[in-house]
Amino acid sequence: GIQVEQSPPDLILQEGANSTLRCNFSDSVNNLQWFHQNPWGQLINLFYIPSGTKQNGRLSATTVATERYSLLYISSSQTTDSGVYFCAVAQGAQKLVFGQGTRLTINP
Amino acid sequence: DTGVSQDPRHKITKRGQNVTFRCDPISEHNRLYWYRQTLGQGPEFLTYFQNEAQLEKSRLLSDRFSAERPKGSFSTLEIQRTEQGDSAMYLCASSNDEVQYFGPGTRLLVL
């Protein structure tokens, strides 16, 4: 089955810093979603981005489908950005395969 | 649009007991998914419904697990004869296209 690798596994930054999270996947996909999991466990949708670039406020994402990777950028980090970020992919409107996540800690 | 809801949010049970979780998807979403997440891991797929039909089941779904979506709306996930290894967060998601939206999860602890 398809494999998803996220890096780095952990990232600790000061408030105001910028960060880049990476997601590599092993096969072609037509669904790629980025999520933020809050401390209560809720998965919050950030982007649906099987290809191309999208921006939403301080967050943006780019997926290069031909090279099988996606990047999530967080600019001017805030403490509320802390949590675990997951990349998940699918082939068709079927099951999502998740990476192991990147745990982001933003210190004040 | 009230989002995906799950009930209960937390469940503590003793080994050997049966438990049942409920998921109410976003209204008119025809696809419903169950995932399981253990500590420090990403969610793993368990099963998937399109309307009332269960179209795929993971090998993780042993014969102690059963899921239903009788009228193509809400779904239940039952675990029989729970084991300590079943302790996890059980997540439900729904979709009408490629984008899946997740509920808050049910956190199960088996003592």
pLDDT tens digits for range B30-40: 999 999 999 99
Q: pLDDT band for position A21 (50/70/90)? A: very high
Residues of A in contact with B37 (CB under 8 A): 41
Q: Distance between CA B110 and CA B16 in Å, rounded?
A: 9
Neighbouring residues of B67: CB distance < 8 A, sequence distance ≥ 6 = B34, B46, B47, B49, B54, B61, B75, B76, B77, B78
Q: Flag the least confident range among A24-28, A62-66, B11-15, B53-57.
A: B53-57
The total number of residues shown for chain B amounts to 111
Question: Hey, are the CB atoms on A45 and B31 less than 8 Å from each other?
Answer: no
B57-105 confidence digits (pLDDT tens): 998 888 999 999 998 899 999 999 999 999 999 999 999 988 999 999 9
**B37 touches A: beta carbon within 8 Å:** yes
- C-beta of residue A43 within 8 angstroms of C-beta of residue A37: yes
At residue A76, the pLDDT reads: 97
Closest CA–CA distance from residue A41 to any residue of chain B (Å): 7
Inter-chain contacts counted by CB atoms under 8 A, chains A and B: 56
